[in-house]
């Protein structure tokens, strides 16, 4: 059995759509970082996306754990032209598309960005590589809101609309177990 512990990075405090923009994480809550690190398996292998907010969070919880190279396939949703804009600003310019993107996710994409299905395909590819090369291990994957939801969707066999009902807080852990091709959810959005 392989354990997949998906950790959401520290907060950016941005009130905009943050996908591929490289904003830093606020890791000033050292007590929360310590609790998180102590909650995760001490023999886990740590990996993150290649964006600084996940790299810094992974650095903060790594301790003596083995670290793998950053993986760009584990990046957040690419919001394209909506990047770093508020929902209100996007709604004023493109109301039908922004509503469809969140209410009927799947093939709808932001201008010059990714659809939900494209994100899920990209992230699945990265996670599948990890599962193949680290079978039977405990993987600590420091990533983003959307990335975590793609794997919850996969494990629970939900539609994109259904998985968007899950909350994924900063510095939370979502734990999945994979035994051959059978996925099971152990915890979603656990705050140690």
Q: What is the pLDDT of residues 95-152, one digit of tens each?
A: 999 999 988 889 999 999 999 999 999 999 999 999 999 999 999 999 999 999 999 9
What DSSP state is assigned to residue 24?
A: P
**Predicted TM-score (pTM) of this structure:** 0.96
Average pLDDT, the chain: 96
| Confidence (pLDDT) at 102 | 86
Tokens 């109301």 correspond to 95
All structural domains of the chain: 2-79+115-190 (3.40.50.1240)
N-term to C-term CA, the chain: 23
Pairing of strands 173-179, 182-190: antiparallel
What does the longest C-alpha to C-alpha distance in the chain come to?
Answer: 49
178 Rama sector, left if φ>0, alpha if ψ -120 to 50, beta otherwise: beta
């Amino acid at each position: 059995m392989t354990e997949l512990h998906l950790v959401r990075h520290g907060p950016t405090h941005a009130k905009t759509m943050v996908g591929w923009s490289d904003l830093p994480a606020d890791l000033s809550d050292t007590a929360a970082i310590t609790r998180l690190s102590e909650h995760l398996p001490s023999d886990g292998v740590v990996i993150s996306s290649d964006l600084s907010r996940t790299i810094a969070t992974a650095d903060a919880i790594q301790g003596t754990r083995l670290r793998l190279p950053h993986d760009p396939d584990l990046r957040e949703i690419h919001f394209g032209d909506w990047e770093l804009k508020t929902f209100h600003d996007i709604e004023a310019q493109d109301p039908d598309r922004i509503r469809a993107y969140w209410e009927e996710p799947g093939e709808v994409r932001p201008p010059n960005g990714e659809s939900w299905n494209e994100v899920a395909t990209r992230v699945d590819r990265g996670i599948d590589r990890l599962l193949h090369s680290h079978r039977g291990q405990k993987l600590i994957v420091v990533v983003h809101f959307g990335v975590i939801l793609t794997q919850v969707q996969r494990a629970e066999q939900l539609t994109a609309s259904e998985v968007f009902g899950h909350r994924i807080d900063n510095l939370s852990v979502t734990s999945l177990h994979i035994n051959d091709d059978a996925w099971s959810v152990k915890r979603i959005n656990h705050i140690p």
